[in-house]
Amino acid sequence: MEKKKLIPLLALAAVLSSCGPTGTTTESSFDPLDEGDLVRDEAGNIVYDGVELKMWSVTTGDDASTQDAIIAGFNDLYEGQIHVTTTHTSRYDLETLLNTTMQFDRPNAPDLLFNHGSRAAEYRERGWLLPVENYFGKAETPLDKDDFVPSLLNAVTLDGSLYGLPMDVHSAMVVMRVDILEKNGYEIPTNYEELVAICDDAPKKAANNQLWIRGENSEGYAADEWRLASTASPYAAFPISYGDMWVHEFVGYTAAVQNGATLVDEEGMPAWNSDETAKGLQLLRDWIFPSATSYNKSALSLDYGSSYDVGNAPLLAGTAMFKLQGPWAYMNEMADFDRLLRNDGGADNITTRSLSGLFTRDDSEASSLIKGEGHAIMMMAPEKFSLTKACAATVFMDYMAYYSGIEWAKRGHLPAAISVSNSSAFKADPAYEEYIQYWGQPEDYVVVPPTVNYTYIDTYFKNALQQTLSSSYQNQTVKAILEDQYEDCVSYIELYA
Amino acid sequence: MENEVKMSPKEARAKLAETGNRLVDESIGSFLSLRHVEKVYPNGIKAVTDFNLEANKGEFVALLGPSGCGKSTTLRMIAGLEEISSGELYINKTYSNYLPSKERDIAMVFQTYALYPQMSVYDNIGFGLKMRHMKKEEIEERVHKAAEILDLGHLLDRRPKELSGGQMQRVALGRALVRQAGLFLMDEPLSNLDAKLRVQMRSEIIKIHKAAGATTVYVTHDQTEAMTMADKVVVMNRGYVQQIGSPMYVYEHPANLFVASFIGSPSMNILDGVLKGERVILEGGFSFPIGVKRAANYRALLESFRKKLEDLLKDPEGNAKAIADLAGSLKPSQKQEKKAQSFLSKFFKKKGEEEKEPTPYEALSALHEEYASLKEGELPIKVGIRPEDFYPEDDFRGFKASPVFRGSPDLVELLGHEFIVHLPSFGTMIELRITSHEVPVSGKSLGICFDLSKIHLFDPYSGMSLMDKEKENL
Amino acid sequence: MKEVTLREFATREERRKSSLFKAFSVGGFLGPYAICFALFFVFPLVFGVVMALCSFDGKTMFPSEFVGFANFEAVFTNPVLAKDFWGSVWNTLRFALIIVPLSILLPLGLALLINIKPPGYKFFRACIYLPGIFPLTATGLILLKMFDYHYGFFNAFFGLTLDWFGETWSAWLLIGYFCLWCGIGGNFIILCAGLENVDKSLYEAADVDGCGAFSRFLHVTLPGIKDQLFLCLFTTFIGYMNLYGQVYILASNTPDQDAMKSAIYRIQDMLLGSSKGYGYAAAMGICLGIIIIFISVIELIVTKERKGGHAHEERFVSWQKSR
């Protein structure tokens, strides 16, 4: 009896609650002559008085602390005028949080969003973003689009309009054991051929009991004692695995684009089912499973299967000369080696390089490309639009793009604004000299072009990558694997068309 | 006594193999023999003390006693469900202390029937035979025969949960019957049934007992069952055997106060008194003669018991077990008390009371003191008179009338042809069974006398009956 | 106004008040539960069916476009959807067929051992139940680390070179082990309780009837815990058809995802991306539910109690006549 009465009641409640606020500001509503709630002084400049901006940021941990420090600088500079409060949420939670808030709790939605630029297309499709260019003009904040890395700017440009300001870009990078390379007479490799030369020669030397390595290991060797590499197991100088985040987030894509592949076509559909991608993935497959037809004769990496962070232990123990790492961790690497090899050069025993040129034999414009991921600050369409807030936001975005500078770069995030990385202040910092300079030019970085189908394109490419590098799929050609995954990807995208 | 001949272990093993690795004692005449069987639990509690029983083939033995007297434990020891702490058990002349249950040639009927719930009645009855790998045809034959005897034919397909209590009990009996075992063991099988059904089932059980010709050991707390069904009654209290005998014998010659008050309903009236010369003087001054001979016998009884105590106490270590057994058997021989102590009073026992448990030696020493200090002139005595041995003064039908005494009934219960009269007299409440044309009225004074030839005299300290001892000495 | 006598009025009033009071007490006791039940069970069930019949992408509060059985059609005919979903259902079914018997027999064995009540049995009982209360993700991560291909403790200790999470058979093996490790506690407790409730005198009757240990188990113990066993069978099967957490944590990195994903995993996959396929997911969920119901009904029929019939009675009558 009770339940029969309750269902219609609940239905009524549901109907009533769905009649919530749905109106949002869209691009078509911008009027350049509209002053909105702006307050101007006698000189005609906009007066910001106690403007509160709320930003949600996808950075967590140490990145979050650094970002908070940078934003504090802005708040100090604009004390009393503009104040920005930041909440940090990991990217897994952020999506759900955004979803529920933008749909059902609009009043509590943030004004700004610091997130990966690749998300912009999907957000805009749901009507959550405001185009920013107009507000830069209104606030008279300078905006030089040519100063930004083209790929990053492109990622937030949808239908010709700019939907956010790119902030930075990062990718994986390579850590190298300078001491071992030097001891064995190798030069630091600058491209794939040189890398393979070293990695083919080292196992030969090791088999002949001639390869010198050092590092703490389980047999009791200290970090600074030189020893000969064991002849028992083959020496694989550069460990990678499909379980590694560096590989499936960055290296896989990088190998594809360095060989000339495009990831997404103009309609936003996947374009990675190409010979170029196959070439890049084949190169990675040969990395672990060399064959008679591969360029490298020895394996550059053992088959680590689904393990992750596979390079850490070998590099420390000396059984590898190269490893992949996230740039933000480089400072920890330096600290580790400072401690381990305190008496023999410390952090000078390692160096870092970008992924540029390391995954292709081609020598073209594309071979220096690095696939990364970039952040951008986007403006969220609020329930109640405030022109003052929008203009204040542009001031903040401009500050973040140009004044995060070196501190943010030390966390591995290279600035999206090219002039920043060329400035003397940037280059004067010792960190630049030590390592940041090796991470390449910002213009070398590319991100996935904007598309609403990003999730499927990304998931299925990663599936293909994983299967390519797995030992259980050796009997399938790279092209066949790519074809398989491509078909599924396109089918799913078409389901929702 | 060839079992007592000494030989080498090898010879012993060979000899044993001859009788199928069972120790057989041909000298035992009875079918079931328990000798000095005792049961002590791991926590030290003695459930059964010095149990002796010889049951012949075809005999119906009832183990009778109040709850907690050790009768079920004894039955389970015979069945092999409990370990025998000491003593010997012989089933059909074979030493069976350590034989597993299934090899003892027994069939058991449980109080809760213990029918397998997922099997039909047919399967339940035939299960034991199936486990012994009997042929299907033979199982069917036996089950059908049992079903005929017990009128279970129309129930053979049913499950236990579709049967009534009486039907379930018949199935349990059937299960025991088909085994054609030599020994039937029944553990209060009728206590779960209502009164009318019980009467019916009693006759069923006797029928089966006769049909099978097996020796039956039957445990019950209901004296009616024991009295009507058994050839031999074993009365137990608190682990001690009080008396063994035929129902009639136990009724007419109870061995001690416990048996006297346990058997018979309403129970025998026990009156306190003193023996002066040849007269017994009850409370309130009423006295009657018991004869010179009898009085002398009583004095001799007391003296012999005192002597027995003295002898035992002379050698405490040597007679330790006898002392302990005797001390332990004193309380159980007394009249069964109604639950005097309330539940809560257990919690409020004063601290000192717990420590007052005397050792057997101390107990017997104190008792010896009592006996030794008895004055010749006044000897304490207990008189037992059954309710049916009372008669109205004008309607005496016994052998030898006692002096008349008067009393006013507190309560008169009408049972149709007779009355149970509750009369406060002699310092206690006595119950009389009167068949009289005149209805006794409560409050109206009544003249009563009793049959002097039917009284029982008991030693208050040991609880022993004088009559029983007299019979022994005859 | 119609006139009433005092008697009529009083009796009517009292009856009304009494039924009102009864209704309030019923409402007061049932109310909270009824609300929760309606909110968290009835509403999602109804909403799920509605979602399955509409095209809903999660961008609005409620679905608006009714498409009839188009979603179901897609689940059965769309090549990639059908391949992925039914493949995962088949994976899940095969896994359930192996793990459900294990999930019942293992706890049964343990319960029988604990029933003997050896010294320290309370401690063992607690230990058997303990794994179930740990969070799935934490223990899953430990398992990932322990069976890591190159750095895992297990491979190092036994000197193996097996990529546990790279091969499908070993990944399923570990998923099965993980499920058993954290799942047997529940069934174990139920079977322990069942064993305690078996009438002790039945064991004694079996002893007297001549049963050995195995016969006793077969004829007394098993039938005695029949109810609990059936309960375990039903709930365990339904639970494992809904397998998700363990697969997600352990097998997300296995290359052959088509062989690893369970049914719920595929349904979850429908909700990736910005355009979420709630319609397809709901349709898949309903299909899965129907399959589970179907198999449960089969289980119900097979385990039903059967009436005795009249075979024995007839044979008895004919035996009587033949004498």
Which pLDDT value is given to residue B466?
A: 82
Indicate the helix (H) or strand (E) that contains A375. strand A373-380
Q: Which pLDDT belongs to residue A8?
A: 54
Tell me which residue in C201, C211, C223 faces B114 most closely, judged by beta carbons: C201
Q: Which two tokens stand for residue B207?
A: 């029928």
- For an interface test with A, the pick among C154, C163, C165, C168 (most A C-beta atoms closer than 10 Å) comes out as C163
Please give the Cα distance from B226 to B247 (Å, whole number): 8
Asked whether residue C95 carries a pLDDT value surpassing 70, the answer given is yes
- Tell me how close the Cα of C199 comes to any Cα of chain B, in angstroms: 8
Say whether B144 and C320 touch across the interface (CB within 8 A): yes
Chains in contact with C, counting 3 or more C-beta pairs less than 8 Å apart as contact: A, B
Contact A327, A170 (CB under 8 A): yes
Residue with tokens 């106490």: B313
Q: What percent of chain C has a predicted confidence (pLDDT) above 90?
A: 69
Burial class (CB in 10 A: 0-12, 13-18, 19+), C244: middle
CB B367 within 8 A of CB B292: no
Cis peptide before B66 (omega within 30 of 0): no
Question: Comparing A37-170+373-446 with A173-371+453-495, is the CATH topology the same?
Answer: yes
Question: What does the block give as tokens for C290?
Answer: 């129907």
Given a cut of 60, is residue A63 above it in pLDDT? yes
B153 touches chain C (CB under 8 A): yes
Contact present, A115 and A166 (Cβ < 8 Å): no
Residue in chain A lying closest to C256 (CA): A467
B465 DSSP assignment: B
B257, part of any domain: no
Candidate from A3-17, A228-242, B427-441 with smallest mean pLDDT = A3-17
Residue B94: enclosing H or E segment and its boundaries?
strand B94-95
In the predicted model, what is the mean pLDDT of chain C? 91
Instruction: Find how far residue A135's CA is from the centre of its chain.
Output: 27
For helices C6-37 and A2-18, the axis angle rounded to 10 degrees is 60
What's domain A37-170+373-446's superfamily in CATH? Answer: Periplasmic binding protein-like II (3.40.190.10)
Residue with tokens 């279970």: B152
Residue C301 has pLDDT above 50, yes or no: yes
For B175-214, what is each residue's pLDDT tens digit?
998 988 899 999 999 988 888 889 888 988 998 888 888 8
Flag if C219 and B127 touch (Cβ within 8 Å): yes
- Inspect the interface and report whether the beta carbons of C34 and A302 lie closer than 8 Å: no
Q: For the segment B93-146, what is each residue's pLDDT rounded down to a tens digit?
A: 888 999 888 888 899 999 889 999 999 999 999 999 999 899 999 999 999 999
Range C262-273 average pLDDT: 89
pLDDT in tens, C3-20: 888 888 899 999 999 999
In the structure encoding, which two tokens stand for residue B299, read together?
């004095």
Write the CATH number for B396: 2.40.50.140
Task: Give the integer Cα–Cα distance in Å for B109 and A104.
Answer: 73
Beta bridge partners of residue B34, listed in sequence order: B53, B89
Same domain flag for B314 and B414? no
Q: Which residues pair with C200 in a beta bridge?
A: none
Query: Is B307 within 8 Å of chain C by CB?
Result: no
Residue B351's pLDDT is what? 53
The label of the residue with tokens 């030189």 reads A226
Which of A37-46, B266-275, B309-318 ranks highest by mean pLDDT? Answer: B266-275
Q: Which residues of A touch C273 (CB under 8 A)?
A: 122, 453-456, 496
Q: Do chains A and B touch (3 or more CB pairs under 8 A)?
A: no
Report the distance separating Cα B220 and Cα B65, nearest Å.
Answer: 7
Dist CA B35 CA B23 (whole Å)? 15
CA distances for C41 relative to B122, B469, C32, C44, C264, angstroms: 48, 83, 14, 6, 18
Across the interface, do A306 and C80 touch by the CB < 8 Å criterion? no
Task: Verify C-B touch: 3 or more CB pairs within 8 A.
Answer: yes
Strands (E), B343-409: 379-385, 390-392, 405-407
B148, part of any domain: yes
Interface ipTM: 0.81
C305 Cα to chain B: minimum distance (Å): 9
Give residue limits of the domains in chain A.
37-170+373-446, 173-371+453-495
Q: How far apart are CA A397 and CA A408, in angstroms?
A: 15
B358-367 as b/e: b if 16+ CB within 10 A = eebbebbbeb
Chains B, C: CB contacts within 8 A come to 82
Q: Give the Cα separation of B380 and B298 in Å (integer).
A: 10
**Contact residues, chain C, for B119 at CB < 8 Å:** 219
pLDDT band at B338 (very low <50, low <70, confident <90, very high): low
Question: With 0-12 CB in 10 A as exposed, 13-18 as middle and 19+ as buried, what is A278?
Answer: buried
Give chain C positions within 8 Å (CB) of B140. 315, 319
For chain C, say whether B114 makes contact (Cβ under 8 Å): yes
Chains linked to A by 3 or more Cβ pairs within 8 Å: C
Query: Which residues of C fall within a CB distance of 8 Å from A466?
Result: 253, 255
pLDDT in tens, B197-206: 898 889 889 9
Q: Could you read off the pLDDT of A156-166 as tens digits, one per residue?
A: 999 888 999 99
CB pairs under 8 A between A and C: 109
Contact A306 C149 (CB under 8 A): yes
Tell me how far apart the alpha carbons of residues B193 and B427 are, in angstroms, rounded to a whole number: 39
Suggest the residue from B99, B103, B104, B110 to mutate for an interface test with chain C (most C CBs closer than 10 A). B110
Provide the residue ranges of all domains of chain C, joining segments of one domain with +: 6-52, 70-302
Interface check B111 vs C, CB under 8 A? yes
The residue of chain C nearest to residue A310, with distances taken between CA atoms, is C150
Question: Does C208 touch chain B if contact means CB atoms closer than 8 Å?
Answer: yes
Q: Note whether residue B71 is domain-resident.
A: yes
Mean pLDDT over C132-154 rounds to 91
Cross-chain CB nearest to C255 (options A104, A308, A466)? A466
Interface test with B, best of C214, C312, C322 (most B CBs within 10 A): C312
B192 touches chain C (CB under 8 A): no
Has residue B346 been placed in a domain? no
The larger pLDDT score, comparing residue B231 to residue A32, is at: B231
Torsion angle defined by CA atoms of residues A274, A276, A281 and A282, in that order, rounded to the nearest 10 degrees? 110
Q: Are residues B76 and B183 in the same domain?
A: yes
Distance from the C315 Cα atom to the nearest Cα atom in chain B, whole angstroms: 9
Q: Which residues of B touch C205 (CB under 8 A)?
A: 108, 110, 114-116
pLDDT tens digits, one per residue of A186-227? 999 999 999 999 999 999 999 988 899 988 877 778 888 888
Q: Measured in Å, how far apart are chain B's first and last C-alpha atoms? A: 32
Q: Tell me whether B107 touches chain C (CB under 8 Å).
A: yes
Nearest chain C residue to B129, by CA: C209
B147 and B242 in one domain?
Answer: yes
Q: What is the pLDDT of residue A407?
A: 85
Find chain A residues with C-beta within 8 A of C27's C-beta. Answer: 2
**CB neighbourhood size of B375 (10 A):** 8
- C70-302: what fold? MetI-like fold (1.10.3720)
Sign of CA dihedral C238, C241, C242, C243: positive
CB contact, 8 Å: C198 with chain B?
Answer: no
Q: How far is Cα B285 from Cα A382, in angstroms, rounded to an integer?
A: 113
How big is the CA angle at C311 (ends C308 and C313), to the nearest 5 degrees? 95
Instruction: Give the span between the Cα atoms of B199 and B368, in whole angstroms.
Output: 48
Q: Which residue of C has its CA nearest to B154?
A: C313
- The answer to whether A281 and A464 are in contact (CB under 8 A) is yes
The range of the structural domain enclosing residue B428 comes to: 385-458
- Give pLDDT, residue B434: 87
User: Which chains neighbour B (Cβ–Cβ under 8 Å, 3 or more pairs)?
Assistant: C
Q: Are residues B287 and B158 in the same domain?
A: no
Q: Nearest Cα to C245, choosing from C115, C143, C109?
A: C143
Q: Is the pLDDT confidence value at A25 over 60?
A: no
Let me know whether B107 and B141 are in one domain. Answer: yes
If asked whether residues B58 and B167 sit together in one domain, one would say: yes
Nearest-10 crossing angle of helices B466-473, B292-314: 90
Distances (CA, A) of B53 to A291, B87, B241, C5: 94, 12, 10, 83
Given a contact cutoff of 8 angstroms between Cβ atoms, the answer to whether A276 and A367 are in contact is: no
- Identify the pLDDT of residue A16: 44
Q: What is the mean pLDDT of chain B?
A: 86
3-class DSSP assignment, residue C115: helix
Counting the structural domains of chain B, the total is: 3
Q: At what angle do helices A275-288 and A478-495 cross, to 10 degrees?
A: 130
In degrees rounded to 5, what are phi and psi of residue A251? Answer: -65, -40
Cβ-nearest to A304 among C74, C149, C272: C149
Nearest-angstrom CA–CA distance, B78 and B70: 12
Subunit contact C312:B102, Cβ cutoff 8 A: no
| Cα B269 from Cα B259, distance rounded (Å) | 12
Q: Between A302, A472, A492, which is nearest C256 by CB?
A: A472
Strands A112-116 and A51-57: parallel
Min Cα–Cα distance to chain C from A19, Å: 10
- Alpha carbon distance B409, B389 (integer Å): 17
Task: Tell me which residues of chain B, numbers 35 to 94, contact chain C at a CB-CB cutoff of 8 Å.
Answer: 79-81
The CATH number of domain A173-371+453-495 is 3.40.190.10: yes
Per the CB < 8 Å rule, is B154 touching C313?
Answer: yes
Average pLDDT over residues B73-90: 93
Considering Cα of B219, then B222, then B223, then B225, what sign does the dihedral take?
Answer: negative
Residues B177 and B321 in one domain: no
Do both B240 and B296 map to the same domain?
no
Residue C258 touches chain B, beta carbons under 8 Å: no
Nearest CB to A307; choose among C79, C150, C272: C150
The proportion of chain B whose per-residue pLDDT surpasses 90, expressed as a percent, equals: 36
Residue B431 has pLDDT above 50, yes or no: yes
